[in-house]
Chain A
Amino acid sequence: MIAPPTWKTVLAAVLFSSASASAAEQPALKPATVKPSGRQGVTLPKATTLTLKNGAKLILVERRDVPLVSFSAWLRGGALADPAGKEGLSALTGELLQKGAGARDARQFAEAVDGVGGRLEVHSGLEALTIAGQFMSKDSALMVELLSDMLLRPRFTQEELEKTRARMTSEITAAKDGDPRALVGTYFDAFHFAGHPYGTAVDGTEASLPGIGREDVLAYTKNQLGADRLILSVVGDFDAKALGAKLQKALGDMPKAASPAPQVAATTVSKGRRVLLVDKPDATQTYFLIGNTSIARNDPDRVAANLAGTVLGGRFTSLLNTELRVKSGLTYGARSYFSPESQPGAFVISSFTQTEKTDKAIDMALEVYARYRQTGLDDATLESAKAYVLGQFPPRLETGQQVADKLSELAFYGLDSRDVDGFAAAVDATTRQAVGTVIQRVLPPSEDLTFVLIGKASAIREMARKYGTVTEMKISDKRFAPAQR
């Protein structure tokens, strides 16, 4: 059993780990001009950037301290390109990229990666499919071969498709027996963003996956996984010129996507309060998320929002964790985080507590939240938050894999190295007033909140009613959204 997420890994997911700051031109970050930071920051290494004729973008950084090469490939589209009723198509396609490509069947492909101690992982995201890999530098030729086989020559055999689809479907069912923290976010998105692509269950549902066939996968690949959607960053022990030439040769023939990239309608803040109660009859603890639509990845106020989120629920001494865990012992953890995407994503408060104290914990979280929106923070707290985010920033860009991921992510969102290089200065320059203004803008008012509770419905149904109109579903239901009436 893997231990629960550590505070550190939680942070990585939380504080726009990737986000951060700077005075990027496009879109601008406030404040536009900042003084150099007195504190030590991090700067991204200088990269060699190439754009191939087919639109593929390559970003290369030589880094020779350990004999490893890491890459991060982002393909725009992700689950946003899943047709209605075929949720999980992009995720299934991503899984199948590793199940046989080029000269290798699924088994030979896995042997090739494992045989040299390599790592190759496909991650299905909402807005992009990403492939991350790491090989010993002596195996970089093999790495290029495997990656280009995946992108240009996936086999997508019927047999592998059926097997993978069945396994993915069962994994969702099995996850419902596991720690509810792994799924509560999927329920939240499905309920909160219902009708918008941001509500898509990225990994699909037990209802949608069985209906996805090989023709869907082929169409998705042709329409979405094109060279003009590819951003590939490689960091590590190699010669940039030689590797650039090799990649150019390997990826130069990759076709462009046949369809335009999915466009996302603007997301909106929902009005009023509503509650989704997911019944898990054997639960002895209730897991809850409370939130609303908040900000986008490239929001010009992202540094101030990061600081605001850190104080409320982004670190151990945050207001939420102090009240719910440290002072009252109601829970093992309480936090808040943003999920920034191209369009404003969710901001949520998250915690869990024993069934009998569900309303006590939720009331306390709401109280802390309302007070924070009302009174903001003092100078000492802001200073502490600044020191904290600056102190925790450098280890997020310590490894080649982290740097490769960051370079691709910045390019994906139309940002550049100033988002990292200018972070320390932007944090330093943020004023209490700026954070106060941002709190009012990005943290939804207390009367406009979406609640998702996973727990023992017979025991918490009454408690749930005081937070808004309750919609109920069972954890065994084959979708993450309640049935439409």
Chain B
Amino acid sequence: MFRQTLLWTSCAALLVAPAAGAQAQPKAATKAAATASSKLGAKVESRTFKNGLKVIVWPDHDIPNVALYNWFRVGSRNEYPGITGLSHFFEHMMFNGAKKFGAGEFDRVMEANGGSNNAFTSEDVTVYMDWFPRSALDVIFQLEADRLQFLSFDPKVIESERGVVYSERRSSVDNNNMGSLAEQVQATAFVAHPYQFPVIGWPSDIESWRMEDLQRYFKTYYAPNNATLVVVGAVTPAEVFALVEKYLEPIPSQPAPEPVRTQEPVQQGERRVVVKKVSQSPLLQLAYHGISANDADAEALTLLLSVLGEGDSSRLHRRLVEEERVALRATTMYSGGFDPSLVWVTADLPPGGDLARVEALLTEELARVAKDGITDAELTKARNITLADFWRSLETNNGRGYALGATETFRGDFRKLFDAPARYERVTREDVRRVAARIFATERRTVGWLVPGEAPAATPAAHKEATR
């Protein structure tokens, strides 16, 4: 209800944003796109307040509505054994009552004023979104300020919310084969870095988060200096800044959170994980150690993954689904974070499908692109797809809120959103080949197989729940 966990997201295009180019005259069209995109951002204003809160406003009056995105730099990356899943659980708790607006009031007041909301947690961030008519602007700021300043922690509410999160885990992992396999692959790919933890948390940790963990989390990470607030839509920057001054600036800043110091050591050889689950269809997932969102190769990687996996004309779809007919679907996924995260290459097999054969074909395709690179036509195509995604993402208040916040958070400056077409223009075929060679090394990957099996007598998850 969808306050959701992005265990791994499909938002790569948004996070890494734009590209440019046109088939006939790539240069000219790109220049036009670059000009158009910087014009688009001309009305965006930002200000950092005394307590360290950065606020970005993009006015747009097409519809009488507003999207608010509040980005907190906290996710499963900030967890350790015993408290895994806490960031996500905390995401839930932010809706469960504060001082002026008690339990249930946040949602009740917001909806009565025409607003709705959602939130998501990833390995790196927790993001709260509100969508509302402009008439609700003042009350939305009151709601946000109240929970940021005075969140309450009622033990009864915590217990009830644990059940909600457990149900969410059952939906996204335990009763979902793709989720089950991804969790194991991710946990195997990282041995040191906290990206190994599932965002939703391990079952035993879900059962044992404590009050003091929650309170410490709130104080440390939900500080104004650890957040970026983005407001997009039927507003003026001046009125938003005035509301921030009135409601949010009085919230004191906190000492900067401890940085995550652990770096994943270089992988020395291929790892493999096999999950046996009741199913009719096998699944294959390859996870390669990738790069961080701010890496100089980020744009080249986006174009590479587009050539490999985006659309029915992509290399992997052509080879596995259309020509060899060994898979139902072949995808590539990458969502850049603060630290180098995984690049996923996955295939869904038909019932009775041959995992070894699909793995061999994928491996061959990835080695081929690392050796020979891509064609001019493929580069142009990938740029066009990325540019079109860019325009689409900026078509709505919601898309603009996400794109601005993601760029500011992961690239350090929201203005980089508008430079993106130019950055994609600079990517060469050799850049793409080089990044393929950098990423697709078999000794630095984890291979996950989901193999159809029989129902176990009692699954550990079922047992745990029964005893709760």
Note all chain A residues with C-beta closer than 8 A to B160. Answer: 326-329
Residues of chain B within 8 A of A316, CB atoms compared: 1, 107, 111, 116-117
CB pair A177–B280 under 8 Å, yes or no, is yes
> Cβ of B456: which chain A residues have Cβ within 8 Å of it?
282
In whole angstroms, what is the CA distance A163 to B327 when docked? 11
**CB-based contact A138/B175 at 8 Å:** no
- How far apart are A451's CB and chain B's nearest CB, in angstroms? 19
Interface pair B328/A174, CB less than 8 Å apart: yes
Q: Interface segment, B68-76, B164-172, B356-364?
A: B164-172
Distance of A391 Cα from B133 Cα, bound (Å): 5
Kindly identify, within residues 311 to 355 of chain B, every residue whose CB is under 8 Å from any CB belonging to chain A: 311-314, 318, 321-322, 325, 328, 348-351
Q: Is the Cβ of B7 less than 8 Å from the Cβ of A1?
A: yes
Are A329 and B322 touching (Cβ within 8 A)?
no
Contact between chains at A333 and B1 (CB < 8 Å): yes
* B266 contacts the other chain (CB 8 A): no
Residue in A107, A115, A353 with the greatest tally of chain B CB atoms within 10 Å: A115
- Interface flags, B208-238, vs A, CB<8A=1, else 0: 0000000000000000000000000000000
Q: Which residues on the A side are within 8 Å of B8 (C-beta)?
A: 1
Whether A66 and B22, one on each chain, are in contact in the complex, defined by CB atoms closer than 8 angstroms, is no
Assess the B350–A167 pair: CB atoms within 8 A.
Answer: yes
Chain A residues near B280 (CB-CB < 8 A)? 173-174, 176-177, 476
Please state if B384 and A117 are interface contacts (CB–CB under 8 Å).
yes
Render B108-150 as a binary contact track against A, CB cut-off 8 A, 1 for contact. Answer: 1001111111101000000000011111100000000000000
Task: Report if A315-B176 is in contact (Cβ < 8 Å); known contacts: A107-B322, A179-B171.
Answer: no
Contacts of A243 in B (CB 8 A): none
Flag if A177 contacts B65 (CB, 8 Å): no
A289–B57 Cα distance when bound, in Å, is 42
| Proximity bits, B148-183, A CB within 8 Å = 1, else 0 | 000000000001111111111011101111110010
> Are A114 and B314 in contact (CB-based, < 8 A)?
yes
B111 near A387 with CB under 8 A, answer yes
- Asked whether A117 lies within 8 Å of B388 as measured between CB atoms, the reply is yes
In the complex, what residues of A have CB within 8 A of residue B462's CB?
Answer: 284, 355
Could you say which residues of chain A place their CB within 8 Å of the CB of B3? 7
Are the CB atoms of A166 and B114 closer together than 8 Å?
no
Q: Mark B244-279, 1 if CB is under 8 A from A, else 0.
A: 000000000000000000000000000000000111
Option from A3, A5, A115 in Cβ contact (under 8 Å) with B313: A115
Chain B residue numbers with a CB within 8 Å of A315 are: 111, 116
The reply to whether B387 and A117 contact each other, CB–CB distance below 8 Å, is: yes
Q: Which residues of A contact B132 (CB under 8 A)?
A: 391
Does A388 interact with chain B (Cβ within 8 Å)?
yes
Number of interface residues of A (CB under 8 A): 86
Using A114-B385, A394-B64 as known contacts, say yes or no to A68 and B395 having CB atoms under 8 A apart: yes
A5 to B172, CA, bound (A): 11
Once the chains bind, are B322 and A331 in contact (CB under 8 Å)?
no
Complex contact A66–B391 (CB within 8 A):
yes
The reply to whether B351 and A170 form a contact with Cβ atoms under 8 Å apart is yes
A315 nearest CB across to chain B (Å): 6
A-chain residues with CB within 8 Å of residue B48 when the two chains form the complex: none
Known: A3-B7, A117-B385, A284-B465. A388 touches B459 (CB 8 A): no
Instruction: Give the residue of B1, B9, B313, B325 whose beta carbon is less than 8 angstroms from that of A7.
Output: B1
* A268 is an interface residue with CB less than 8 A from chain B: no
Known contacts A1-B179, A6-B118, A354-B465; A332/B164 CB under 8 A: yes
- The listed residue with most A CB atoms (<10 A of its CB), out of B9, B118, B136, is B118
B437 within 8 A of A: no
One digit per residue, 1 when the CB lies within 8 angstroms of any chain B CB and 0 when it does not, for chain A 369-411 equals 0000000000000011001101110110111100000000000
Point out the residues of chain A lying under 8 angstroms from B350, CB to CB.
166-167, 170, 173-174
Say whether A1 contacts B182, CB under 8 Å.
yes
The answer on a CB contact under 8 Å between B168 and A332 is yes
Are B170 and A285 touching (Cβ within 8 A)? yes
Whether B36 is near chain A, meaning CB under 8 Å from some CB there, is yes
A88 contacts the other chain (CB 8 A) = no
B383 smallest CB distance to A (angstroms): 8
Report how far A234 CA is from B398 CA in the complex, Å.
23
Give the distance to chain A from B403, nearest Cβ to Cβ, in Å: 14
A282, B455: Cβ atoms under 8 Å? yes
Kindly supply a per-residue 1/0 record for chain B positions 1-26, scoring 1 wherever the CB is within 8 Å of any chain A CB and 0 otherwise: 11111111110000000000011000
* A42 to B62 Cα, complex, angstroms: 10
Distance from A173 Cβ to chain B, minimum over Cβ atoms (Å)? 5
Chain B residues with Cβ below 8 Å from A384 are 108, 111-112
Instruction: Contact check, B111 vs A400: say whether CB atoms are below 8 A apart.
Output: no
Which chain A positions have C-beta within 8 A of B136?
A: 391
Q: Please, how many angstroms separate the alpha-carbon atoms of A326 and B167 in the complex?
A: 13
Is B397 on the interface with A (CB-CB < 8 A)? Answer: yes
| B147 CB, min distance to chain A CBs, angstroms | 15
Q: B86-113: contact bitstring with A at CB < 8 Å (1 yes, 0 no)?
A: 0000000000000000001001100111
B384: chain A residues at CB < 8 Å are 114-117, 136
CA distance A39 to B91 in the complex (A): 32
A281 in the interface (beta carbon within 8 A): yes
Q: Is there an interface contact between B2 and A10, defined as CB atoms closer than 8 Å?
A: yes
Query: Which of A47-55, A317-325, A338-346 lies on the face that meets chain B?
Result: A317-325
**B43 located at the interface, meaning its Cβ lies under 8 Å from any Cβ of chain A in the complex:** no
Q: Are the C-beta atoms of A3 and B1 separated by less than 8 Å?
A: no
- A131 → chain B, closest Cβ, in Å? 15
List 17 A-B pairs, Cβ < 8 Å.
A42-B63, A98-B312, A110-B311, A113-B312, A117-B383, A134-B388, A167-B328, A177-B281, A179-B171, A315-B116, A316-B1, A322-B104, A329-B161, A330-B167, A391-B115, A391-B116, A394-B64
Contacts A134-B388, A322-B104 aside, 11 further interface pairs with beta carbons under 8 A come to A3-B172, A10-B2, A107-B322, A110-B311, A110-B313, A115-B23, A170-B350, A173-B280, A174-B328, A391-B133, A398-B395
